[in-house]
Structure 1
Amino acid sequence: MLLSLLSTSPVAFVIVAAALVLSLTVHEFAHAWTADRLGDPTPRRFGRVTLNPVRHLDPFGTLLLLIAGFGFARPVPINPNNLGRWGTLWVSAAGPISNLLIALLAGLLLRFLPYSDFTAAVLLTILSTNIVLAVFNLIPIPLLDGSRILGALVPSLGRSLAQFEAQPFSFVIVMLFILIAQRPIGNIIGSVQRWVLGAVGI
């Protein structure tokens, strides 16, 4: 768990924590910026069109991050009526896309920057963290970006997913699903990481 690194390797803890905060912040900013550009003023009204982590991090999600090594940020509020079906799809996809772009950038820097153990550790941490976030959020289950993308593609299914999200037990069910599906999710993450490293020539 992430907190255990604090006593065993403080430098590693700082690297991993900083990578997670950066990645979550950019992910939520991408949602907010895309919605703003597509004509929905809701994220700007809530102060979310910013790269300030304080505006995006969720207290419980951050605590979970420190204890369990995974967590979540505060979802960006949007008004689908201002965005339409395809606008909502692009806003939902913007977060995972931003994480994939960060992973590719980290891979390029890893390839072309002068090598050192510290630089490699930082860039690999950023790369792997963003791949995990991208793949995780693209799972088409409620509360994740993948469900909203699926909902935009299949509106009738989207209404059902939205109703499920509104249920108080939805978070618990989603967490149970993720725990049960750890192995296949891990295999997908590994495949995407190999693709990114191959794409940048590593």
Structure 2
Amino acid sequence: MTTAIRRADRRISPVFLALIAVMAGSGWAVWSEAVPGYTGFAVFLFVVSGWVVSLCMHEYAHARTALHSGDISVEAKGYLTLNPLKYTHALLSIVLPVIFVIMGGIGLPGGAVFIERGRIQGRWRHSLISAAGPLTNIVFAAVCTAPFWLNGLAGVPAPFRFALAFLALLQVTAAILNFVPVPGLDGYGVIEPWLSHKLRRQVEPFAPFGLLAVFGLLWVPEINQVFFELVHTVLRGLDVSSIDTYLGQEFFRFWRGEPQLPQTGGLF
């Protein structure tokens, strides 16, 4: 009986499989341009579903690392099923990130899985649990950009290339933001075990506002420019140009009509 329950707690959720199906189907529609005039909508579905899949993988990485570090409670909570509906804060982890992708083309991180830290021994384990999520975004970015840095773009339709570039941009922004050492973000979780107990107690009340503060700072033009310069520097290192990401976002915003040639300026 116990074994059957444990298997159910680890079985991949139909919700996640449905997301994979939407991603695959919309990816095929973008590649083949199966419905003329609706390629932008297909790009939108492909990017949104791919982004939500990456969010699920991000939280799964936290939970799986916690499981192997001693927190067996993540099984019963359903975190290992990749079901986004099982998250502690579905609004913060799924709904708001998708809204901010639509609004500003930025991969907003969000907290979702509740780890029982008291079950885990060792500062390195605590740090690794926090780092596991954004490291997943880095892997996802590497996969999305593989055709670019492997010189495998020959024969890849332009809309699909642009969609991959924009999805990669979201992964890079999410990884960078998550590693910012601000309370409430994974970057702070990485360094928190190494801080004094007194300092942690002083910082703890600010944790619920850390993400909002970081996002608010991104609306400051000078900070926004520096941030996206860093993002595009990383992407150029992966052979993804700013034109690719710009056109990817233009296709993504299908409600604005056909993409136009890029102009000078940021993504906001």
Which interval holds the TM-score relative to the shorter structure?
A: 0.7 to 0.9
Q: More deviation in 108-117 or 11-20?
A: 108-117
Cα-to-partner distance string for 1:83-140 (whole Å, 9 max, x where unaligned): 2321110000001111111111222244336422243133223322211111111111
Deviation digits for residues 135-171 of structure 1 (CA, Å, limit 9, x no counterpart): 11111111110111121233444443323225xx555
| Pairing partner for 1:176 from 194, 216, 219 | 216
1:3 aligns with none
- Does 1:79 find its partner at 2:143? no
> Which residue of the partner structure matches residue 102 of structure 1?
140
Identity over aligned pairs, percent: 26
Equivalents in 2 of 1:104, 1:170: separation in Å? 27
Aligned pair in 2 of structure 1 residues 28, 61: CA closer, same or farther (>3 Å)? closer
User: Which one is further off, 116-125 or 131-140?
Assistant: 116-125
Letter in 1 for 2:171: N
Match of 1:142 in 2: 183
Distance 1:153 1:185, change over 3 A: farther
How many corresponding residue pairs? Answer: 190
In 1, Cα distance between equivalents of 2:127 and 2:114 = 14
Alpha-carbon distance in structure 2 between the residues aligned to 1:109 and 1:50: 30
> SS of 1:76's equivalent?
coil
1:17 counterpart letter in structure 2: V
Task: For 2:187 and 2:113, locate their aligned partners in 1 and report how far apart those are by CA, in whole Å.
Answer: 15
Q: Contact between 2:92 and 2:111, CA under 8 Å: does it hold in 1? A: no
Runs of 4 or more, structure 1, over 6 Å off, are none
Unaligned regions of 5+ residues in structure 2, if any? 1-37, 241-268
Q: Say which SS state the counterpart of residue 238 (structure 2) adopts.
A: helix
Question: 1:49 aligns to what SS in structure 2?
Answer: helix
- State TM-score, norm by structure 1: 0.78
Decide which of 120, 128, 138 is 2:169's aligned counterpart: 128
What CA distance in whole angstroms lies between the structure 1 residues aligned with 2:97 and 2:39?
Answer: 17
RMSD of aligned residue pairs (Cα, Å): 2.8
Is 1:165 matched up with 2:207? yes
- Secondary structure of 2:62's counterpart equals helix
Larger of the two Rg values belongs to structure = 2
Check whether the contact 1:135–1:188 (CA below 8 A) recurs between aligned residues.
no
Q: Which amino acid aligns with 1:81?
A: G
Gaps of 5+ in 1: 1-6
CA contact 2:54–2:137 (8 Å) conserved in 1: yes
